[in-house]
Amino acid sequence: MADCLFCRIVRREIPASIVQEDEQALVFKDISPQAPTHLLIVPKKHLASLADSADGDAALLGRLQLVAARLAKEMRLSSFRLVSNNGKGAGQSVDHLHYHFLAGRPMQWPPG
């Protein structure tokens, strides 16, 4: 996707504060953090949203959650929140699947 913001970050065409990467995923700091730790976990493959994923993406989706679990271990976080906004009504503003990894402050439920 030539003009997708997160594809451009994956290709290093736009700078981001990258925390880690593997063959399938990139983790970088959210530009507008909503918690002391606010990372975005992004598949390198372009998927517009979770709703656009298919059976063939099962391993990739699992991988993204394992990245979150690994981040929590590495950062010694006892609690964190993993959120994927799906669709404009849920607050999705970038049409490239991503998980928000939030930690470092008390979290309210339900989310707003």
DSSP per-residue codes, 36-92: SEEEEEEESS--S-GGG--GGGHHHHHHHHHHHHHHHHHTT-S--EEE---SGGGT-
Q: Are strands 81-83 and 18-21 parallel, antiparallel or unpaired?
A: unpaired
Of 10-49, binders to ligand 5GP (CB under 6 A) are: 16, 28-32, 40
Stretch of residues binding Zn ion (CB under 5 A), selected from 42-50, 69-77, 78-86, 99-107 = 42-50
> In the bound complex, what is the minimum distance in angstroms from residue 18's beta carbon to ligand 5GP?
9
Pick the closer one to ligand 5GP by CB: 24 or 49.
49
Stretch of residues binding ligand 5GP (CB under 6 A), selected from 51-59, 63-71, 90-98, 102-110 = 90-98
Contact positions vs ligand 5GP (CB under 6 A): 5, 16, 28-32, 40, 85, 91-94
